Amino acid sequence: MKTVCIMGGGLGGLMTGALLAKEGYRVTVLEKNHIIGGGLQSFRRGEYLFDTGMHVFGGMGANGQIRRICRYLGIEDSLDIEPRCDTLMDADTGERITLPFGREAWTKKWSRSFSSKLHVDGIEDTIKGYLDRMYDITQQEPLFHMRPTPEDYVLPDTSTTAKELIDGLTDIPLLKAALSYLVVFYGGHADSPALLHSLISCAHIDGTYTFRNGSLAFAKLLAGVIEAAGGEVRNGEAVTAVDTAGRRVTAVHTEAGTYTADHYVSDMPIARLLDMVPEKAFSPAFRSRIGSAPYTMSAMTIFIGLKPRTLSYNREAYFSGHTDADMWRMEECAEERWPNIVFALPCEDKENPGYASTITAVCPMSYDAVERWANSRTGHRPDEYYRWKERMVQQAMPLIEPIGFEVPLKEAIAFIDAGSPLTIRDYYGTPRGAMYGIHRSSLNPMQSSLSPHTRLGNLYLTGQDVNFHGMVGTSLTAILTAEAIAGHNVIVNKINDTIWKQ
Ligand SMILES: Cc1cc2nc3c(=O)[nH]c(=O)nc-3n(C[C@H](O)[C@H](O)[C@H](O)COP(=O)(O)OP(=O)(O)OC[C@H]3O[C@@H](n4cnc5c(N)ncnc54)[C@H](O)[C@@H]3O)c2cc1C
């Protein structure tokens, strides 16, 4: 039986491991944290359950990519998920709009709302044209549509930016701002590719979901696939060094021991991997490419526990922002007027169905805001940092409070906790606490997509730094990585076979 050692037990590592386990490989996953999952980690505070880095995701509709993968892995029936809808709130005017999912319903609701507000003809055509264009752009990524990658596959054209795509549709600033709200799911800047915007937006508009019993449950399902095939997932085992000889990895070290395998996969941030391999293992050009890569925005996450039966639960996911917020620089603003925008997700109280038990609010923030405490560690930060964090939480609350329109949110809150960009940096090991790994830019396509293959014949890359991030992006990259080992299109063809047999 061929063996694979995977460094990092986040979504990328676990999904790659599960796919390879299905292919008959014996997989060992080494995860530095005591809880597996990386961004899939959940934590409990008393009775309250919070997700840390996987709040909503696409790909779970009847024919969605993640649902198909789960069916192939045999874990579809164990998924405990529910659909969500988006509610956009203007924090200054109090206006709100709730968008249903599905291409047609989404278009109709936007059109009705804008037609009555702006009294301009042709809004429905503009929005429809926007969706058609985005769905067209996604055709460049065969795997997004679960199509095998042709031998003569040409890398997608990423020269058009998302901002150009939206600016080209309309001159109406309000419509442009509204159509760009999903930028929050990739931390877009003016140079972000239209391809990235289209993949994220289409996956979301086709239907977005949340885990009812915490995202960690999904990590455990993937770990279960690995273990059922004779593999193991070892938490609390940080990789400290990777040995190489010639163009091959020969061993991986943790403080607890040494691991050898036929193949090695890294799900760690690529910058972290480069710190662990001998200098000569990678070319100076590759090191400089990764060393100079820009990172996506970070965030402050606010975890709110609610008193029982105070706030009703309606499956809405809230985007709350200031009218004048620049969506292409949403994390950048003067500290005293932070945040520009907040994504807030209430979750249902299992004991009291119909009521929310928690709200998790992800507030885009630049890592620059915490750089002054960069040398501190979790649990050992200076008092000044905690005072600053408390101030930032209070500043964000006016954007979260409108969620409690039927009851003043302040009266419903049992406790508030928060994590800063330093928390993300230290838990996941991501440089600059980047939410979505390396920033993709139309100006620098070379940095925007890496191959799962490396110059070391038995070392492969997976995870959000390689290609795309999030539930859909990281999982599709996992297929590419697993196929780099198991064979071109081997897995995608089997996933499609599973569908046809239904
Ligand atoms: C606050 C926040 C909210 C988000 N919300 C969403 C969302 O709602 N929907 C969505 O689709 N995406 C969301 N994302 C993005 C999503 O979490 C990531 O794209 C995804 O989890 C990336 O998976 P990964 O495996 O590439 O990385 P990770 O999940 O970071 O996994 C990497 C793993 O490597 C481990 N590791 C690092 N160094 C070592 C070492 N030396 N030895 C062993 N292990 C090591 C880490 O501990 C980690 O477990 C969010 C991210 C953040 C930060």
Alpha helices in 180-297 (DSSP H): 194-205, 216-228, 270-276, 284-291
Say if residue 115 is exposed, middle or buried (CB neighbours under 10 Å; 0-12, 13-18, 19+): middle
Q: Is 53 in the pocket of ligand 1 (CB under 6 A)?
A: yes
Q: Is 226 in the pocket of ligand 1 (CB under 6 A)?
A: no
Residue ID of nearest Cα to ligand 1 atom 21: 39
Q: Is 299 in the pocket of ligand 1 (CB under 6 A)?
A: yes
How far is CA 100 from each of CA 104, 109, 319, 356, 468, rounded to the nearest angstrom?
9, 7, 14, 20, 25
Model pLDDT for residues 243-292, shown as the tens digit of each residue: 999 999 999 999 999 999 999 999 999 999 999 999 999 999 999 999 99
Q: Is 17 in the pocket of ligand 1 (CB under 6 A)?
A: no
Model pLDDT for residues 457-487, shown as the tens digit of each residue: 999 999 999 999 999 999 999 999 999 999 9
| Nearest one of 418, 200, 394, 402 to 296, comparing CA atoms | 200
Per-residue pLDDT band at 446 (split at 50, 70, 90): confident
Average pLDDT over residues 1-28: 98
Q: Is 30 in the pocket of ligand 1 (CB under 6 A)?
A: yes
CA of 428 to the centre of ligand 1 (A): 6
Task: Reply yes or no on whether the pLDDT at 153 is more than 90.
Answer: no
Q: pTM for this structure?
A: 0.97
469 with 477: CB under 8 angstroms? no
Residue ID of nearest Cα to ligand 1 atom 18: 470
Q: Is 421 in the pocket of ligand 1 (CB under 6 A)?
A: no
Dist. CA 489–CA 273, nearest whole Å:
27
Residue ID of nearest Cα to ligand 1 atom 4: 53
Average pLDDT over residues 24-41: 97
Task: Reply yes or no on whether the pLDDT at 449 is more than 90.
Answer: no
DSSP 21-82: HHTT-EEEEE-SSSSSBGGG-EEEETTEEEESS-S-B-S-STT-HHHHHHHHHT-GGG--EE
Task: Reply yes or no on whether the pLDDT at 502 is more than 60.
Answer: no
Model pLDDT for residues 314-344, shown as the tens digit of each residue: 999 999 999 888 899 999 989 999 999 999 9
We find that the CATH architecture of domain 3-38+215-294+444-501 is 3-Layer(bba) Sandwich (3.50)
Q: Phi, psi at residue 176, to the nearest 5°?
A: -60, -45
**In the structure encoding, which two tokens stand for residue 342, read together?**
């907040």
Average pLDDT over residues 29-45: 97
pLDDT of residue 406: 76
CA of 380 to the centre of ligand 1 (A): 23
